[in-house]
Amino acid sequence: MITATVKSKVNEDICVLACPDNHGYSYMFDCGMASLLTVGDVMKLKALFVTHTHIDHFANFDFVIRNRAGSRDPVIICGPLGIASNVEGRFQSYTWNLIGKKRSYFEVREIVDSETVEIYRLCPPQWKKSLIKVQNNEVLFENEQVTVSHCILDHKIPSIAYRMAEKNTVKIHELPFAPGPWVAQLKDAYLQGDMERDIKTTSGIIKAKDLFYTLKEQPGYSMGFAMDHLGGGNNHRLLVSFFRNVDELFIESFFRQVDLDYAIRHHHSTAYLSGVLAREASVKRLNLVHHSRRYLGEVSDVIEEGMAAFENRSPNFSKAPISRYSEALPDVETEEVQ
Ligand SMILES: [Zn+2]
Ligand SMILES: [Zn+2]
């Protein structure tokens, strides 16, 4: 199980923290202004996944630097083309004469295109990016408990969608002999695909393959995260396939369908389109997040719009939707719409 929590209040930006059970690490998805994020959350941060570096998705990165710059455990930052320079730029905006050449470092995995990821390292006290290696067609992030894959969306700039999945687990559903250390050995043989391993059971030595019938593989919990992207078209097709059957999805609902023209002009989606996408992908639980501040007085209706589309029913609004982006309003959107 992965417990994912939105750390930004509704009038703030977007930041989600994911904590797999029985696992000391946390994983952060985007790092916009988020007053619910604590020092404790950041102290156990293993990796940060950034969709893109518009300010409402990256403004709080200083909080990560502030609490982890001297840490022995590296923070791994994954993000779109240019992320290594963005991270370096933030470090370069401070003076580091009081920090020695510690063994700590930050690692950046920059998604250059659909096949290529460049790995950079930034070390104190200069914190200059240095290219370590180039990966082709490899999984973006993997450790003993989770795997994170990605796809690239169109938001006029690349915006990365992420899918985090716990590794499958194996449970024993039938005990043919008295339990003992052999159960763990058998599970390990199964996960390694080692059919011929000799398992010392409490009733003698048996080949692993002859005991595999006692095991059942359980799929790990999976969650998706997709923020700013152009609704419909290719992005829609890509995400329906990428998020197929995820247990939980966090997705943007920056605009309402009544402002679809405006959403398209700014390469965004709508609450309705995100709800349709989640339904077509057979997502189990939907979280509609990241709303324009113009809808602050009607956020429950924004969410209702998307949830009704997800559940394939008529929406039950508290008041009829009206456009908050009519041409009559002054053109201040370049500051707000990111
Ligand atoms: Zn945004
Ligand atoms: Zn954006």
Q: What domains can be seen in the chain, in order of their start residue?
A: 1-166 (3.60.15.10), 169-218 (no CATH), 229-338 (3.60.15.10)
d(CA 234, CA 159): 13
How does residue 24 score in pLDDT terms, banded at 50, 70 and 90? confident
Q: If you measure from the C-alpha of residue 88 to the centroid of ligand 2, how many angstroms do you get, rounded to a whole number? A: 20
> How far is ligand 2, taken at its centre, from the CA of residue 8, in Å?
16
CB atoms within 10 A of CB 31: 29
Residues with CB under 5 A from ligand 1 (ion): 56, 228, 338
Cα 6 to averaged position of ligand 1 atoms, centre (Å)? 15
Which residue has tokens 């390694």? 192
Q: What percent of the chain has pLDDT over 90?
A: 78
Structure tokens at 40: 């404790």
Q: What integer pLDDT is reported at residue 123 of this predicted model?
A: 92
Distance from Cα 81 to the centre of ligand 1, integer Å: 17
Q: Which residue bears the tokens 């977007």? A: 14
Distance 338 CA to ligand 2 centre (A): 4
Tens-digit pLDDT profile for residues 97-126: 888 766 789 999 999 999 999 999 999 989
Length in residues, the chain: 338
Q: How far is the CA of 337 from the centre of ligand 1 (A)?
A: 7
Give the pLDDT band (50/70/90) at residue 333: very low
The ligand that comes nearest to the alpha carbon of residue 252 is 1
Least confident of 71-80, 174-183, 233-242, 252-261: 174-183
Give pLDDT, residue 338.
Answer: 54
Mean pLDDT of 280-302: 96
Taking ligand 2, which is a single-atom ion, which protein residues have CB atoms under 5 Å away?
Answer: 54, 228, 338
